[in-house]
Amino acid sequence: MTDDPIYVTRPLLPPLAEFIPYLERIWESRWLTNGGQFHVELEARLAAHLGVEHLALFTNGTIALVTALQALGVGGEVITTPYSFVATAHSLIWNNITPVFVDIDPVTCNMDPARIESAITPRTTAILPVHCYGGPCQVAEIREIADAHGLRVIYDAAHAFGVKFEGQSLLSHGDLAVLSFHATKAFHTFEGGAIVCPNSETKKRIDHLKNFGFVDEITVVEVGINGKMNEIQAAMGLLQLEYVDEAIRRRGTIDSIYRDALSGIRGLTMLPIDRKCEPNYSYFPIFVGPDFVESRDRLYERLRRAGIFGRRYFYPLISDMPMYRSLSSASPENLPRAREVANRVLCLPIYPDLTDSDAMRVVRAIRG
């Protein structure tokens, strides 16, 4: 057993000796960004690994979200979830779009499709759901609603790297799906992200948008942005791909340890296992109910004193933040289930080099 601090996540870092040859090749080529050899290779290998046809790499997931909305010409109002990282809603504001929040399913923590239609107005152009903790949204129901009302669907799939649903990539759902490759994710490129595209034409436009709108040295056809992934990020991604499957398996082992050891504790619940899904075990949230021996915040503070740094993820709700709380859809009466989940959630440490003994240390600390 170790008394070292345990954080909610730690980035997977391959051996430095394996990264050095990539750096040497970048140094020798003098090609640091703008679609270098590692960038091109990583796009192709990620598409194959994830089971998708087209994928455009980005410098981070937030810029990818902003660009995805721009690529589809989304404006007006977009229906989304208050239970997510702030980048989900921020990407809308950066496009001068009004977020319209709807409540979540308290079991899955994903957007509740039953709440969508009543939120649609003449200004609604799209739905922006989140595969929260990598768990699949109700994709068929959301697609049916979107088609009935002529709306676009863009999935914030920041947590969903490698997740399969009903035998196919979860990323194949929606008009676009956006990934994050931040250092805390199951797969990372230090910082990074990607947009999964349905066809080559859409990818071509997105590639223009992420490079200022350039199509050649002197021609600019879009009001684009600098969203390109550089060669060092891409090199890290190529090396990460060698380890990611084993890393996800290890996460699954830790998930099983927690489930077995924490099941049956009064007042604690966990996300259900979805038998239609092949997960990536990105997060392990527990939900602290009124029957537990102490409140969520007291448990959070007690774990911190024991050197275990969990995270109340996602708390507070996006809709409670100053730039959003004035929206009518942000009213507490509109989002009771999201608020209850946000007040109960605590994500436990889960990452590939977390040992079994440290996982049990977390369990013992929870049990008190």
d(CA 296, CA 287): 8
**Torsion sign (Cα): 226, 228, 230, 233:** positive
Per DSSP, helices labelled H in the chain are 16-29, 37-50, 61-71, 87-94, 139-149, 200-209, 231-241, 244-262, 296-305, 336-344, 356-367
Do 32 and 92 fall within a single domain?
yes
Do 254 and 157 fall within a single domain?
no
For residue 49, is it within any domain?
Answer: yes
CATH number, domain containing residue 141: 3.40.640.10
User: What residue numbers bound the domain in which 33 lies?
Assistant: 16-102+109-241
User: In sequence order, what are the residues at sequence separation of 6 or more whose Cβ sits closer than 8 angstroms to the Cβ of residue 299?
Assistant: 288, 292, 346, 366
Q: What is the pLDDT of residue 217?
A: 92
Q: What is the pLDDT of residue 101?
A: 99
Query: 268 is written with which tokens?
Result: 């604690």
Please write the tens of the pLDDT for every residue from 41-90: 999 999 999 999 999 999 999 999 999 999 999 999 999 999 999 999 99
DSSP state for residue 25 in the 8-state scheme? H
Do 33 and 154 fall within a single domain?
yes
Do 224 and 329 fall within a single domain?
no
Query: 44 is written with which tokens?
Result: 């192709």
How many domains is the chain built from?
A: 2
Whether the per-residue pLDDT at 2 is higher than 60: the answer is no
Supply the pTM of this predicted model.
0.97
Q: What is the pLDDT of residue 3?
A: 73
- Per the prediction, the chain carries an average pLDDT of 97
For residue 136, is it within any domain?
Answer: yes
Please write the tens of the pLDDT for every residue from 7-16: 999 998 999 9
What DSSP line would sit under 263-280, residue for residue? TT-TTEEEPPP-TTEE--
Do 134 and 158 fall within a single domain?
yes
For residue 280, is it within any domain?
Answer: yes
Q: What is the pLDDT of residue 1?
A: 41
Do 37 and 149 fall within a single domain?
yes
DSSP state for residue 228 in the 8-state scheme? P
For residue 2, is it within any domain?
Answer: no
d(CA 256, CA 154): 32
Are 254 and 361 contacting, i.e. CB atoms less than 8 angstroms apart? no
Query: Last residue of some domain: 202, 224, 241?
Result: 241
Query: Last residue of some domain: 178, 208, 241?
Result: 241
